[in-house]
Amino acid sequence: MERLRLHKDMDKVPEAGQRVTATVSTHNGEVVHEGLVLPPSSPKHITLKLDNGYNVSYPEADLISIEGLGQPAPASRPAVPAVNASSDLPRVRLIHTGGTIASKVDYATGAVEAKFEPEEMLNAIPELATIAQLDSVKIGNMFSDDIRPQHWNIMSKACTEAFEDGCVGVVIAHGTDTLHMTSSALNFAFAGNGERPPGVIAIVGSQRSSDRGSSDATENLLAAVYWAANGPKPTGEAGDSVVVVMHDTQSDGIMAVHSGLAVRKMHSSRRDAFRAINAQPLAKLHLEGSAFSATLTPSYEAARKNASERPISSKSSTYEPGQRLAQFIAGPWLHAEQVEAVVNTGVQGVVFHGTGLGHLPIEDPQGDAPENTSLWRSLTRCINRELPVLIINQCINGPIDMNVYSKGRKQQAMGLLGHGVSSTPEAMIAKLHWCLSQNKDITSAMRENLCGEHRENLYE
């Protein structure tokens, strides 16, 4: 093997994907690292992925020497699952869509790609065989940014087929960026018409790919399978028709089971990125050794006790992919011509992320903001066209309450929807899409609490 002095012989730097031993000069003296070369994080730097899953980068000027160890052996892909579970355990199906939980680093580019097959995920975590009899179905290998309403229909159909096959629960492996949108959409698909799914549906993801030392993929998946196999049957009324199972804290050992209608991704990279909005988790799962225990929160226990008996849905309702919803953010930059331009494209609904308790800039008390009057006229035209206009919460936490200020009362008189909303913005947009897809009376349906999207008690 050739040993190089990089500052003198840079043309021989190993390419991305090669394994090397690098000696680096630091403030604490020389440090030796062994790992895989990644594309540099900055110009004139070298970046390595270490065996513990973390990346390190150093300026080329700090490199003393580097020794190429050749290309790593390609990872083999098992053809069939090697997970053998007892026939006495509950049957759970893993529905594979992709995302970070099914990702690993492509060392030729340094980027994380959704490329794991479901069998690989099952084989990588043998502890799953102690929880449930697992099988898997692959419906995609994509990041969640690319998921559309047609994919919600595919997922809900796959869930129905799993229950028809005798599974007691379903786990959907999903990317985290739009996970809370999918969880909201599937809740309405299974419970919006006053029903409940035949068993538990848990959506799970991970913030960090499985080949990183700080990955949350394994514990999240174990917890989701445990809940799918052992969690209580959903009521359909408490936002529990589809739940989200993710880390409760940055540390390992405790996972939260969230209502799919009350959860939101609140951080781009933390392992506890998913938090309940105006609500509490439904349950906490504690991992001690290799065993889980579940504790329902008092609010969920009360909701279960008071829930009415809903019929089981034999088939989920679907979303019309052709529906178009326009979204705008209230504030100094919102203008009527923007709304008019988008409305003229033929959208079926307009959503405004309102300020405070749900307000829009539609008044001109000092006579120096004609833009506000123009926006008010534009919204009036929308209402006259019977185009639904929904106000959701830009603040995220707290309710939409258009009774407090005179402006809010004016907005209600105009026919704007959203008063009383205590759900996440994403849940309400999904609800509007679902109601349009089902040809519901939009005004009355948006006010109703169909499956747990509205909450009487608000929690922080």
Q: Which of 66-70, 330-334, 405-409 has the lowest mean pLDDT?
A: 66-70
Alpha carbons 323 and 438: distance in angstroms, whole number: 11
Catalytic residue among 49, 265, 431, 440: 265
- Whole-number Å distance between alpha carbons of 446 and 440: 9
* Residue ranges of the chain that CATH labels 3.40.50.40: 325-447
CB 237 within 8 A of CB 451: yes
Superfamily of domain 91-306: L-asparaginase, N-terminal domain (3.40.50.1170)
**Structure confidence by residue, pLDDT tens digits, 169-207:** 999 999 999 999 999 999 999 999 999 999 999 999 988
Pairing of strands 91-96, 19-26: unpaired
- pLDDT the model gives residue 42: 77
Interval 134-158 mean pLDDT: 93
More confident residue, 125 or 1: 125
Which of the following is catalytic: 49, 104, 160, 177?
177
- For 61, other C-beta atoms within 10 Å of its C-beta total 10
Can you say whether the dihedral through the CA atoms of 429, 434, 436, 441 is positive or negative?
negative
- Residue 322 vs residue 9, higher pLDDT: 322
Q: What are phi and psi of 135, to 5 degrees?
A: -130, 170
Please indicate whether residue 97 is annotated as part of the active site: no
**Chain mean position to CA 181:** 7
Q: Is the pLDDT of residue 212 over 80?
A: no
* Contact assessment for residue 348 and residue 324, using Cβ atoms and an 8 Å cutoff: yes
Is 49 a known active-site residue?
no
Q: Which pLDDT score, from 0 to 100, does residue 4 have?
A: 43
Report phi then psi at 39, rounded to 5: -55, 140
Q: Choosing from 47, 97, 160, 176, which is the catalytic residue?
A: 176
- The helix (run of H) or strand (run of E) holding residue 432 is helix 425-437
Note whether 227 and 294 are within 8 A (CB): yes
265 is catalytic: yes
Residue 391 clears pLDDT 90, i.e. is over it = yes
Compute how many other C-beta atoms are within 10 angstroms of the C-beta atom of residue 266: 15
Residues of the chain with CATH 3.40.50.1170: 91-306
Domain 3-68 class in CATH: mainly beta
Q: Distance (Å, rounded) from C-alpha 22 to C-alpha 15?
A: 14
pLDDT of amino acid 6: 44
Q: What is the pLDDT of residue 44?
A: 85
Considering the chain, what is the average pLDDT of its residues?
88
User: pLDDT digit string (tens) for 295-321?
Assistant: 999 999 999 999 999 999 989 999 999
CA–CA distance, 132 with 229 (Å, rounded to integer): 6
Active site residue 440: no
**Token output for 280:** 């509490």
CB 146 within 8 A of CB 68: no
Write the DSSP string, 48-89.
EEETTS-EEEEEGGGEEEEEE--PPPPPP--SS------TTS
Q: CB–CB of 186/155 below 8 Å?
A: yes
Read off the pTM. Answer: 0.82
Q: Where are the domain boundaries for CATH 2.30.30.520 in the chain?
A: 3-68
Segment 345-352 shows an average pLDDT of 97
User: What average pLDDT does range 347-376 have in this prediction?
Assistant: 97
Tell me if the domain spanning 325-447 has CATH number 3.40.50.150: no
Compute the distance between CA of residue 229 and CA of residue 129 in angstroms, rounded to an integer.
Answer: 12
Q: Catalytic one among 47, 97, 100, 297?
A: 100
Range list of H helices, 149-195: 149-164, 179-191
